[in-house]
Amino acid sequence: MRYLSSGESHGPQLTAIIEGVPAGLTLTAEMINQDLRIRQQGYGRGDRMKIESDQVQITSGVRHGVTLGSPITLVIKNKDNKNWGHVMAIEPIDEHDYEIKKVPRPGHADLVGAMKYGHRDLRNVLERSSARETAIRVAVGAVAKQILKALDIEVISHVLQIGKVSVTNYPTTISTIQAAIANSPVRCVDSDLSIQMCQHIDEAKQQGDSVGGIVQVLAENVPAGLGSYVQFDRKLDAKIAAAFMGVQSVKGVYFGDAMMASSHFGSEVHDQISYDQGFTRMSNHYGGFEGGMTNGMPVVVQAMIKPIPTLYQPLNSIHIDTKEVEESMIERSDSCVVPAAGVVLESVLAFELAKEILEEFQSNQMSSLIKAVKCHREAMRDF
């Protein structure tokens, strides 16, 4: 299974084409739209979310609510494009008719992207590098979630930290986490800390600043044996880490209790093996992985999210033509994207797991895939 996405932040639309989804999967636009709505929520989002109400259109690969096995095309229209039609025009226009962006933002792709591709207008970079692209990735991930759901695998995210406010005690099961974050505007399991996180975001916004944090993403009921130890590029945790790092603003990824494990004795962190109707572990410090393979425990991944580079009290930068010091440009942006980033990373994890499952159990039909995974689970249990 693979996909490509295309589109710019203020262009007409975002598009993805997914290839390799088995035939026979129940799929509707509303299943995808549920995740798109959650992505748009979260305390600290900017005015763009007041303009967009993301709705996906499925334009191929599905008939009567069921996948056909052919490529699936997903489209999300950018409502804000009506205000940017001239600036983002496909056909040539007079460069004096619009503002050319010349002062890059520290921490953004603006400058290096322009240097790499030879652009003298930074908008040519910022439009595609914008996190607006994650909307279509959430749509793709929602398709992957439907595959996982058919295999009784669930995925969820929650916020561990925003700025200096962090959660130290939190549940470890998806059902408990889901209930705990239901009424939190920052998707945090602790209601008191949720309030503090919101206050911290408000402080950053009032100062024209931004704030980052840490999210945790979990998957339950993942079969043991996905991935492989035989080659470095077949290790599933390595693939997931790379995919997470491909999400805008993610600057670090670790599995399970890796931050703790790095400073403790091995006797304190290795997950001891036990047996109860199949092999299991007495703890899950390694986040469901051993030797690059899933071990049957929940997959647990943390991602560190940097603060958004656009600041309403901008930092100094350099004009790419005059080479003079100027304040970096301002684009409409969020104060905090940590809760939304968690939703995006749910989609990323769901896609990587579904992709690995389809590589392990090559199936053209969902019914065949379900049978193959069931047989595999039984073989793992009976080993």
pLDDT digits (tens, 9 = 90+) for 353-374: 999 999 999 999 999 999 999 9
Range of the domain at 349: 2-381
**Residues 79-132 pLDDT 10s:** 888 888 888 888 888 877 788 999 999 999 999 999 999 999 999 999 999 999
Binding site residues, as ranges?
A: 39, 45, 128-130, 248-249, 291, 306-310, 332
Q: Which two tokens stand for residue 261?
A: 């494990």
> In which band, very low, low, confident or very high, does the pLDDT at 47 lie, cut at 50, 70 and 90?
low
Residues flagged as binding site for FMN: 128-130, 248-249, 291, 306-310, 332
- Whichever domain contains 338, its CATH number is 3.60.150.10
User: What is the structure's pLDDT at 83?
Assistant: 85
Q: Has this prediction a pTM greater than 0.85?
A: yes
The Cβ of residue 41 has, within 10 Å, a number of other Cβ atoms equal to 14
Query: Mean pLDDT across the chain, nearest whole number?
Result: 93
Residues flagged as binding site for NADP(+): 39, 45
3-state secondary structure of 50: helix
pLDDT tens for residues 329-340? 888 778 899 999
Domain tally, the chain: 1
Give 289: exposed, middle or buried? Use CB within 10 Å, 0-12, 13-18, 19+.
buried
How high is the pLDDT of residue 49?
55
Structure confidence by residue, pLDDT tens digits, 274-326: 999 899 999 999 999 999 999 999 999 999 999 988 888 889 999 999 999 99
